[in-house]
Amino acid sequence: MTQVMEKTNTASAERVATVVAALMENIRDVMVQHKVTLGEYAAAKQYVIEVGRADEWPLFGDVFFESTAEKLYSDSLGVTGAIEGPYYVPGAPELEPPYVMPMRDDEPGEALFLSGSVSGTDGAPLADAKIDMWHNDAHMTYSNIPYPDNRELPPPFNLRGRFKTDAEGRFEVRTACPVPYEIPKEGPTGALLRAAGWHAWRPAHLHLIITAPGYVPLTSQLYFEGDPYLDSDVATAVKPGLILHLEKHEVSERGLDRPFLTASYDFRLARA
């Protein structure tokens, strides 16, 4: 979570003292409760040094703690959102209707038409709302991300695009359906997951940021029913209200030469 600056603030000294004191006290309590040894303390200290050296604090934070901050934030607004995660890149191509996400000619993955609407929590449809969408490809890779392994990257801004709702507040976009995503495991975050016996998977997901004048920007994600990782997301960011029902279309319609999927979702934004 790095881009949406509205969510960051400068805390007062009193707030820092209160929250940081509670945090320290809880860490000490865990150490006492579990009789943490000096050796374990030294290993933990070395571990946080390694997370910094590998530049993995964004990954570590977003995997283990962003969902908690996000839920508090969304609940306070009365909206359903989800974490931004570490892979948002501003400046994605602005699409023209009919909207198709930037992709390669032979982009792997099933064709998915996502349609839906954007409205206020009061029900007012929002015309011209901006939707900024990004997701990984069928090789579990996001474009524009310097991965620690030497994997081949898709073209810049592949599967990243911006589009708008129409006069009725509705939209439809075609993309290549993402697959479950395994977070990079080579670094210290992966080492911790391994050491604890936890897997590194997130269910397949679409990321979206929706903005409209006079409304609070909504950062969200959409998941797919039947995904094997809905109940064990490593980033604990799945909410029941964000799971899409997929309709499979076996016959070719819409000028496509292969089967395709459709899904629909209605976004609701809080008034600013």
Residues that bind Fe ion (CB under 5 A): 85
**Calpha distance 185→197 (Å, rounded):** 13
* 103 near ligand DHB (CB under 6 A): no
Total residues at interface with ligand DHB (CB under 6 A): 11
Residue 35 CB, nearest approach to ligand DHB (Å)? 31
Structure tokens at 38: 């000096």
What DSSP state is assigned to residue 5?
G
Output b/e per residue, 191-220; b: 16+ Cβ within 10 A.
ebbeeeeeebbbbbbbbbbbbbeebbbbbb
Find the binder of ligand DHB among 1, 54, 59, 133 (CB under 6 A). Answer: 59
Structure tokens at 54: 């590998």
Closest CA to 210 of 133, 154, 142, 153: 133
Residue 87 CB, nearest approach to ligand DHB (Å)? 5
* 1 near ligand DHB (CB under 6 A): no
> Quick one: three-class SS letters along 31-77?
HHHCCCCHHHHHHHHHHHHHHHHCCCHHHHHHHHCHHHHHHHHHHHH
Residue with smaller CB distance to ligand DHB, 163 or 181: 181
Between 170 and 199, how does the x/- string for binding to ligand DHB read (CB under 6 A)? Answer: -----------x-x----------------
Q: How far is CA 43 from CA 36, 39, 50, in A?
A: 11, 6, 10
What residues numbered 63-82 form the site for ligand DHB, per CB under 6 A?
Answer: 63
Residue 140 CB, nearest approach to Fe ion (Å)? 10
**Calpha distance 52→54 (Å, rounded):** 5
Strand, helix or coil at 22? helix
Among Fe ion, ligand DHB, none, partner that 59 touches (CB below 5 to 8 angstroms by kind): ligand DHB
Residue 63 CB, nearest approach to ligand DHB (Å)? 4
Residue with smaller CB distance to ligand DHB, 83 or 210: 83
In degrees rounded to 5, what are phi and psi of residue 214? 85, 0
Query: Tokens 């016959």 label which residue?
Result: 251
* 85 near ligand DHB (CB under 6 A): yes
What residues numbered 224-253 form the site for ligand DHB, per CB under 6 A?
Answer: 235
Residue 159 CB, nearest approach to Fe ion (Å)? 11
Query: Tokens 């989800």 label which residue?
Result: 82
Residue nearest Fe ion, CB atom distance: 85
Which region, judged by CB under 6 A, interacts with ligand DHB, from 41-49, 83-91, 124-132, 147-155?
83-91
Residue with smaller CB distance to ligand DHB, 1 or 129: 1
In degrees rounded to 5, what are phi and psi of residue 95? -90, 155
Residue nearest ligand DHB, CB atom distance: 85
Residue with smaller CB distance to ligand DHB, 117 or 219: 219
Question: Which residues here bind ligand DHB, judged by CB under 6 A?
Answer: 59, 62-63, 83, 85-87, 181, 183, 202, 235
